Amino acid sequence: MSLSVVYVEDTGHVVGAVALTGASPGADVGSLAGAELPLRLALGSGNMSTLSLPDKRLAALAADDEPGVFAEPLSFGIELGADGKPKPSLVRLAPWDKAFVLTADTLTVNLQQEATRITPIMVLLSGDPETHLFTGEIQAGAGSAGFQVSLTTGDEHAVLVLVEGQAGRFETVTVTVKAQ
């Protein structure tokens, strides 16, 4: 069996995996994910939300077998070698508790402890009609990053938060009262 994974280049998070029997692992994002990788999440209201991850943010890798990646892909990431190329072995990412707060005007991502180096971050937020994509960095010595949004209090949104080195979070969130 050959394992191929699709990962987010900005943060190294695995967002999809496929095992092929009797075939070479795929290394072309287009053949594995298409132009956009759809990530679906049921909202509490019973509606379905789809976040679209554009292929220009993705890469593919023929990886070493890792059965856990099928159950929890966002718990795994890729690691770059000294040559800057991804290693075939996947790494388990550190879990974290409640990672973000969504208000009517701000999405704040909080780390459990301050970053020791500049740390890439990427956030997808469901919107109407399209997915909102935010990228940035958490500075060394900082414990959070914020992104400006314009939402309605009480609405539900699907949120994907990817912080390099931390397991990804893909959740339904209700917008809380606008921050003062």
Give all domains of the chain, ordered by start, each with its CATH number.
Answer: 2-92 (no CATH), 100-174 (2.60.40)
Give 129-168 pLDDT, tens digit per residue.
Answer: 788 999 999 999 999 999 999 999 999 999 999 999 999 9
Q: What DSSP element (H or E) covers 176?
A: none
Q: Are 127 and 52 in contact (CB under 8 A)?
A: no
Half-sphere exposure of 138 (CA within 13 A, CB side): 27
Q: Give residue 178's pLDDT.
A: 58
pTM: 0.89
Q: Give residue 118's pLDDT.
A: 93
Q: How far is CA 102 from CA 30, 73, 135, 141, 178, in A?
A: 32, 24, 16, 23, 9
